[in-house]
Structure 1
Amino acid sequence: EERLWTPVEKLAKDTTAVTARLAHFRCLLNERGVAAAPLAGYGRTAPSEPGSCVRQ
């Protein structure tokens, strides 16, 4: 679990695991009405196709 006050040596080393958790958390925020932007790109845009918010 990453936090702003976590020492550098205890931060996650596997970026794919962190990205997966952030994508899931973003999806939860969107379901709750929070307009959380995608992890990559320039910000919130309309999805290019139907599907899960995790893949946006």
Structure 2
Amino acid sequence: MSMLDKIKGMLKGHEDQARKGVDKAGDMVDQKTQGKYSGQVDQVQDKLNDQIGRSDQQ
């Protein structure tokens, strides 16, 4: 079992809270870097939210 599978298992049923955490963390990074890396932060947020939302059956 990979680390990603373990994390997905822990988040099961709490996807909305996890998405809020990802958004909050991204906003904090944007604030600390004064928006210098906002494009990259947005890409990472999108990828993480996709991973959170994906079902185990791909």
TM-score (norm 2): 0.46
Name which structure has the greater RCO, CA cutoff 8 Å, separation 6+.
2
TM-score (norm 1): 0.47
